[in-house]
Amino acid sequence: MITSQNIGKLLENIKKSNKNETLFFYINNSIIKRTTKNKKYNLSLINNKIETNFKLNALYKSILDILIPILREKKKLTIAQLGQSIDGRIALNNGNSHYINNKKGIHYLHCLRSISDAIVVGSNTIKKDNPLLTTRKIKGNNPKRIIIDGSLSLTNKYKIFNDGYKNIVFTKSKKNKVLNNTTIIRLDKNNFTKNIMYQINKLEYNYVLIEGGSKTISEFINYKYIDLLQFIIAPIIIGSGINSLNLKEIKNLSKALRPKFSYNTLEKELVVNLFLNS
């Protein structure tokens, strides 16, 4: 069966496969073994459709249904992901966001992290949420953590600087500061976002996840750096708070973004994928 102990390994195998390749696996507890149709298997992937001869947990089936097409379609992708209310809020004005989305959604987020080579957040996300940005809810690969901190305001009090995993911080500041297990890269303040994307591309990460916050994701969308924008929409109305996106103002609806899209369900929430650069 698929569990938190083996779904990361399964996704890793699928990530390495070719776009239209038919896959067969034998799964036994934490063991994931790639096999062939002529040998023993209990999970197959044909035309992006999973078939098993065991009962597949509903949560993990939803996760696979969302991530498999993403992994099979493109081998280089910049993904932005937002969890929000149905009226487009990602947090209250006081920063409280626990929990807008279903708590089980954290398993999906950690699977998304596990397929990513790097994860990018702004300094405000670190200050408000104090996250680790790991895959601790599943057994999977941790992405390289990249933090955008223009003024180099973060300190070693945050968890991300004290767990032993490495980070990269991009900044415009010339402050002399040391952050634990972190490489600080100073960039020209002119075209700062462009310089960040240039550095990320230079590091040759194929799957990059922009996880937050609203300011960072909006900036990357404005520069057309996001290939896939994904919303996980909870069926709640907040009515006030922090908007999920704050893009450049437009004067005419003909300028509104109208991308191709797909959608899935995750527990009792809606997952909408917008393909911005397709």
CB atoms within 10 A of CB 246: 14
| Confidence category of residue 61, pLDDT binned at 50, 70, 90 | very high
> How much is the pLDDT for 212?
86
Q: Is the pLDDT of residue 132 over 80?
A: yes
> How much is the pLDDT for 98?
85
The mean pLDDT of 5-11, rounded to a whole number, is 96
Q: Is the pLDDT of residue 144 over 90?
A: yes
> How much is the pLDDT for 73?
85
155-205 pLDDT, tens digit each:
999 999 999 999 999 999 999 999 999 999 999 999 999 999 999 999 999
Residue with tokens 């297990």: 181
17-34 pLDDT, tens digit each:
988 899 999 999 888 999
| Confidence category of residue 6, pLDDT binned at 50, 70, 90 | very high
User: How far is 120 from 169, CA to CA, in rounded Å?
Assistant: 10
The mean pLDDT of 4-12, rounded to a whole number, is 95
Closest by alpha carbon to 120, among 187, 186, 219? 219
pTM of the model: 0.95
For residue 169, give both structure tokens: 């911080």
> How much is the pLDDT for 23?
97
Domains and CATH numbers, the chain: 7-66 (no CATH), 74-246+253-275 (3.40.430.10)
∠ CA(169), CA(173), CA(176), 5° rounding? Answer: 85
- Between the CA of residue 211 and those of 216, 217, 244, 264, what are the distances in Å? 9, 8, 12, 19
> How much is the pLDDT for 31?
87
For residue 8, give both structure tokens: 């990361």
In the chain, what percentage of residues exceed pLDDT 90? 91
| Confidence category of residue 278, pLDDT binned at 50, 70, 90 | confident
- Between the CA of residue 68 and those of 7, 52, 53, 147, what are the distances in Å? 12, 15, 19, 27
Strand partners, 260: 275
